[in-house]
Amino acid sequence: MDTSKPTFLKVLGNRDALALGFGAMIGFGWVVLTGDWISSAGTFGAVLAMVVGGAIMAVVGLTYAELTAAMPKAGGEHNFLLRGMGPRWSFIGSWAITGGYVTIVAFEAVALPRTVEYLAPNLSQIPLWNIAGDEVHLTWALVGAVAAVVITAVNIRGVKMAGVIQTFVVLFLVIIGLTMLAGSLTGGDASNMAPFFTGGTAGFFAVLVVVPFLFVGFDVIPQSAEEVNVAPRQIGKLVVIAVVLATIWYAGIILVTSSALPAAELVGADIATADAMGALFGSDTMAKVLIAGGIAGILTSWNALLLGASRLMYSMARSGMLPAWFGALHPKYRTPVNALIFIGGLSVIAPFFGANMLGWLVDSGSPNIVIAYALVSLVFLILRRREPRMDRPLRIGGRGRGGLIIGVVSVALCLGLLSLYLPGMPASLAIEPWILFGLWWAGGLIFFLRVPAGIAPGHDAEERLLARLASRGE
């Protein structure tokens, strides 16, 4: 394909990039899943799982920070793996993280009507069909579908507009969180937090395995690297800062929610965090304010991960791994318009599969995300050994063994996390998520087979890949 076409506009600053990464991570999961976490592991068990999970993501984030500073190009993982492991491994890692992003974009399209229904109990009208015991209604599904069209249109019009909206919505979300904290300090009761630990190791792992899904988003910062107008070293630092902030957010939400109501009441709650907010302030209105925060979380995650997924597909098309159609930039707004339309189209369809799709999407996306993280951690090690003189504006762990230790620990943690999803493990996945996972990779196999074998990794791997494809008339 023609690599001389116009590229992205550098219009995002420090605040915009941090808002993208942090906002992507604090999406909607904390609104609907917090009660389940407390029920599974207890208050402190759930907090411990989040802190451990956040530490794992922070170690992975360190490898991303160095690689992003060294290769600030749209597509993040795609470029790291292309240089360090070659085109075919680059495709596998890129397809994996894209699958994780797409599941979250679809998740948000289903989560929005689920949240709006809390404010409008009569939302579900005109029944369509029944999927896995859940009756899908036209009016309910249309809320998610219409929102998908709007958010896709905003992203097509330019990353600056999307970034400005992201920043303001994240600020609103932080205000909601601080309000909930204030309510806990004045109206919470520490006795409600009991039991502190429950469920044993199975309960702990049940919370830990959702961490990759919850924390995916810091890697959106590398995806938008060509649109960030800050120094490469600073881009890398923003990755780690975003992970730390998200860990504090999730741990804080668990503590505040558990202080509001006894665990037995949280288990039976429709949306535990909303009921907790209402209890802390003794007001149904405040419960609805929390739901507004949930909607804000949906929008931040949706917006950021739609941006990230579209840049990945654009980068894969630019390298010839996907059809050139996905690599088209809008002539005016310079955004990957076709990739955005494709992903937006999937999110339009998702709400018509009903609310049960929420859990399936969470579970099917998580293994994809961990696969990508493991490969990035591995390529971090490979490039440290193969290209010790590569320009690294941000060198994690210095020039000695510190960086290698971080890379080895990151690979081991990712592989350990990935094993938890397998059958027979404490937090193994049900059949429906594996079906979605399999369908994604079945589609990927079609494109994988068009990537030529035998092309060595290196800084010019993309050029050699395009030359090989051109010689084959592709």
HEC string of the chain equals CCCCCCCCCCCECHHHHHHHHHHHHCCCHHHHHHHHHHHHHCHHHHHHHHHHHHHHHHHHHHHHHHHHHHCCCCCCHHHHHHHHCCHHHHHHHHHHHHHHHHHHHHHHHHHHHHHHHHHCCCCCCCEEEEECCEEEEHHHHHHHHHHHHHHHHHHHCCHHHHHHHHHHHHHHHHHHHHHHHHHHHHHCCHHHHCCCCCCHHHHHHHHHCCHHHHHCCCCHHHHCHHHECCCHHHHHHHHHHHHHHHHHHHHHHHHHHHHHCCHHHHHHCCCHHHHHHHHHHCCHHHHHHHHHHHHHHHHHHHHHHHHHHHHHHHHHHHCCCCCHHHHCCCCCCCCCHHHHHHHHHHHHHHHHHCCCHHHHHHHHHHHHHHHHHHHHHHHHHHHHHHCCCCCCCCCCCCCCCHHHHHHHHHHHHHHHHHHCCCCCCCCCCCHHHHHHHHHHHHHHHHHHCCCCCCCCCCCCHHHHHHHHHHHCCC
Q: Is 471 domain-assigned?
A: no
* Domain total in the chain: 1
Q: What is the mean pLDDT of the chain?
A: 81
CA distance 293 to 23: 12
Residue 224 — pLDDT band, cuts 50, 70, 90?
low
**One-letter identity of residue 317:** A
The pLDDT of residue 331 = 82
- The gap from C-alpha 150 to its chain's centroid, in whole angstroms, comes to 20
Residue 470 domain-assigned (yes or no) = no
Q: What is the pLDDT of residue 1?
A: 41
pLDDT bracket for residue 380 (50, 70, 90) = very high
pLDDT digit string, tens, across residues 13-25: 666 677 777 777 7
Q: Give the largest Cα separation in the chain, rounded.
A: 71
How would residue 174 be classed by pLDDT, with cut points 50, 70 and 90?
confident
pLDDT of residue 396: 79
Residue 456 within any structural domain of the chain: no
Q: Is residue 145 a part of any domain in this protein?
A: yes
Q: What is the pLDDT of residues 130-156, one digit of tens each?
A: 877 778 889 989 999 999 998 898 888
For residue 4, is pLDDT > 50? no
Predicted TM-score (pTM) of the model is 0.80
Which range (29-38, 210-219, 318-327, 415-424) has the least confidence? Answer: 210-219
CA-to-CA distance for 466 and 474, rounded, in angstroms?
9
% of residues, the chain, pLDDT over 70: 87
Say if 111 falls within a structural domain: yes
- pLDDT of 473 higher than 70: no
Distance from CA of residue 240 to its chain's centroid? 15
**Domain, as residue range, for 283:** 14-450
When pLDDT is averaged across residues 233-255 and rounded to a whole number, the result is 82
Q: Does residue 127 lie in a domain region?
A: yes
Q: Which amino acid is at 398?
A: G
Domain assignment present for residue 457? The answer is no
Q: What is the CATH number of the domain that holds 444?
A: 1.20.1740.10
Least confident of 246-255, 424-433, 453-462: 424-433
Render pLDDT for 309-334 as a digit per residue (tens, 0 to 9): 888 888 888 888 888 888 888 888 78
Phi, psi of 131 (to 5 degrees): -125, 115
Q: Is residue 4 part of a domain?
A: no
Q: What is the pLDDT of residue 338?
A: 93
pLDDT at 225: 56
**pLDDT value of position 69:** 81
Name, of 196-210, 288-302, 372-386, the range with top average pLDDT: 372-386
State how far the Cα of 15 lies from the Cα of 25, in Å rounded to an integer.
15
For the cut 90, the answer to whether the pLDDT of residue 78 exceeds it is: no
